[in-house]
Amino acid sequence: MALVTLKELLLPARREKRAVGAFNVANYETALGVLHAAEGEKSPVIIQVYDRLFASCKAADLCGMLERLARRASVPVALHLDHGSCLEHVAVALKAGYTSVMLDGSKLAFEENVKITKLAADLAHAAGCTAEGEIGHVAQGDEGALTRVHEAVEFARTTGVDAMAISIGTVHGYYREEPMIDVVRCAEIANALPELPLVLHGGSGTPLEKVRAVIENGIAKVNIATEYMDTYLKSSYAELKKLDGKFLPTDKFYDPVVDACAAHAARLIRFFAGK
C-alpha cells in the first residue's frame, strides 16, 4: 500500500481520539514483526529508526529495505527518523527516503530549540515530508522538564511541526518506579492546540490506563522501543536455547522470533487504536 508521512496518519488519529504506534526497528526481523502486526490489525503504523544509526550508512541501508517492505504492506506505513540529533541526520534521512523526521532540540534553550526545529521542519516540508519536534524534555525525575503550555503553543506555531512530543511524566526505557503521568497538563496542551497531533515518548512500561487517558487528550502517536526490542532479544535467546547447539538455517531460526515480535506489536496497536 502507501508509504505515507505522519500527517496522513496522525491528523485523523487525533480527531478520532486514537493513536498510531511508532515502533523502533533495527533490522529485517524487527521491521517484519511491526508490519505483520499492523497488517493483521488492519491499522496504519510508523516504523522509526534510532538517530545513532544515521551516524553511519546503517540508516540509509535500512531505509532501502524498509521502503520496499512498506510499499508492499497492505496498510499505510510512515518511515521516521527518531530523535534526530542534528540537521545533518535530518538531511541524510530525507535523502535516503524516510518520509518523516524528528529533530530533538529538547535539551537546548527554548529559542535554540525553536530555531533548529524550524530549520528541520522547513527541510522536511521542502522534501514533501513531515517533521516532529519536542518541547519540554522527556527525562527521569525532572519536574522542571515537563512541557509548559504557553511554550508548547509558541513552539508549535513558530516551528510549523506536524507532530509535537511533549513531556508529561514518561521516560525512555523501563521505569524504576511507577511514573506520575500528568494527564491534566496533556489536556491543557491539547486544548490550546486543537488540531496538532501530540506524541508520547517513553511508551515502554507506561501503565496502559494512563496511555488510554492521554490518547483521549491529544496524544496521537505513541513511541515504543525498549519493550519491543526486549521481546526480540528474549525470544531470540529462547529459540537459541531450544536449538541446544544444533544447526538451523537462519531464516527458519527467526520465524518464531518475528511471530513473537508481531504478537507484541499487535497487542499495542490494537490498544492504541481503541479496538
Which residues of this protein are in contact with ligand 13P, per CB under 6 A?
Answer: 24, 82-83, 172-173, 201-204, 223-226
Nearer to ligand 13P, 40 or 205 (CB): 205
Give me the residues paired with residue 59 across strands: none
Cβ atoms of 203 and 182 within 8 Å: the answer is no
Residues 246, 252, 255, CA angle at the centre, nearest 5°? Answer: 125
Nearer to ligand 13P, 7 or 172 (CB): 172
Rounded CA gap, 60 and 40, in Å? 27
How near is the Cβ of 152 to ligand 13P at its closest, in Å? 18
Match 526545529 to its residue by C-alpha cell: 117
142 a catalytic residue: no
Start-to-end C-alpha separation, the chain: 22
Q: Which cell numbers hold the place of 161?
A: 511541526
Nearer to ligand 13P, 2 or 263 (CB): 263
How near is the Cβ of 249 to ligand 13P at its closest, in Å? 31
Give me the residues paired with residue 94 across strands: none
Catalytic residue among 82, 104, 162, 182: 82
How near is the Cβ of 93 to ligand 13P at its closest, in Å? 14
Nearer to ligand 13P, 173 or 207 (CB): 173
| 108-135 burial: b if 16+ Cβ within 10 Å, else e | eeeeebbebbbbbbebbeebebbbbbbb
How near is the Cβ of 144 to ligand 13P at its closest, in Å? 20
**Positions marked catalytic:** 82
